[in-house]
């Protein structure tokens, strides 16, 4: 069974630009969660999608948004990038959601904002 696939692996963007990250979950998993990891703040929950609906949301500004498609693939978008958005963005899939079943993470997208 293929694991969670995230693309791209690395991104370099300039302040003010926007970026879209992609995540393909493990086959059969309906939940996709997104996390931001930085040295200072650790792993912070962004949002979770389940069957195309946003089920949970973390404490991030509205510049961070996401969506999930009918095939469970998910995208995350960050608009008007700031230097502080530089981070490793991790996507995780699970059968029922992180609250009720094991999370499996992708390799992440490392975003650098200059």
Q: Least distance (Å) from other proteins to the CB of residue 74?
A: 16
Residue 39: exposure state from Cβ atoms within 10 A (0-12, 13-18, ≥19): exposed
Q: Least distance (Å) from other proteins to the CB of residue 26?
A: 11
Site string for other proteins, 69-88 (x = CB under 8 A): -------------------x
Residue 18: is the preceding peptide bond cis (ω within 30°)? no
Q: Least distance (Å) from other proteins to the CB of residue 28?
A: 16
Q: Is 12 in the site for other proteins (CB under 8 A)?
A: no
Q: Please, are residues 70 and 95 in contact by the beta-carbon 8 Å criterion?
A: no
Q: Please, are residues 38 and 96 in contact by the beta-carbon 8 Å criterion?
A: no
> Which residues would be at the binding site for other proteins (CB under 8 A)?
33, 35, 42-43, 45, 48, 55-56, 58, 88, 90, 92, 98-105, 107-108, 110
């Amino acid at each position: 069974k293929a694991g969670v696939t995230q693309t791209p692996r690395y991104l370099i963007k300039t302040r003010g630009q926007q970026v879209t990250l992609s995540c393909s979950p493990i086959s059969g998993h309906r939940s996709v969660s997104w996390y931001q990891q930085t040295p200072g703040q650790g792993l912070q929950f962004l949002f979770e999608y389940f069957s195309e609906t946003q089920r949970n949301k973390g404490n991030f500004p509205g510049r961070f948004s996401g969506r999930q498609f009918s095939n469970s693939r998910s995208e995350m978008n960050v608009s008007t990038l700031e230097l502080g958005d530089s981070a490793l963005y991790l996507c995780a899939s699970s059968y029922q959601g992180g609250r009720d079943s094991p999370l499996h993470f992708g390799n992440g997208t490392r975003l650098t904002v200059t």
